[in-house]
A and B are shown apart, each in its own frame.
Chain A
């Protein structure tokens, strides 16, 4: 069974802090990794994609990938109350191309 695991949270951070969201996956054949943000009652919104080991930065967001450890993370710098949402990690493997989602981590940023 190919699995994507996330800490369900909730994760609470003060405004201006760094929020760190973690995701592990079981399938070593996984090639593509994504982070989605989902506000309550809304659909998931793609915020980051990463394909190679290392860091990828986009504004306040940094995705980190370590394929050897089967680990992908998302850092949110200078967290804002508007960042309060559920963050979904998604992994796509090379063989069957399925996109597998973690259960999501609920983040609350307190003013």
Chain B
């Protein structure tokens, strides 16, 4: 069974630009959660999508948004990038938003 995949793996952007990250969950999983990980703040929850609906949202500004498609693939978008957005962005999938979550390899975003 294929694991969670994320694309791209690395991104370099400049301040003010926007970025879209993609996540394909494990086959059969309907829930996708997104996290931001930085050395100083640890793993911070961004949002969770289940059956194309945002079910939970963390404490991030509106520049961070996401969506989920009918095939459970998810995208997150960050607009007007700031230097502080440099981080490892992780997505994790689970069968129904309960129980175990499995992480993808992450997208490392660097904002210059």
Contacts and interface: CB of A to CB of B under 8 A. Distances in A.
A100 B45 contact: yes
A58 interface: no
Contacts, number: 48
A44 to B, nearest CB: 5
Interface in A38-52: 42-46, 49
Interface residues of A, number: 21
B42 A103 contact: yes
Size category of the binding interface on chain B: 20 to 34
A34 interface: yes
Interface of A: 32, 34, 36, 42-46, 49, 88, 90, 92, 96-104
Given A49-B99, A97-B48, A98-B45, 19 more contacts: A36-B103, A43-B90, A43-B104, A43-B106, A44-B43, A44-B90, A44-B103, A45-B103, A46-B102, A49-B100, A90-B101, A92-B99, A96-B56, A97-B97, A98-B48, A98-B56, A99-B45, A101-B45, A102-B42
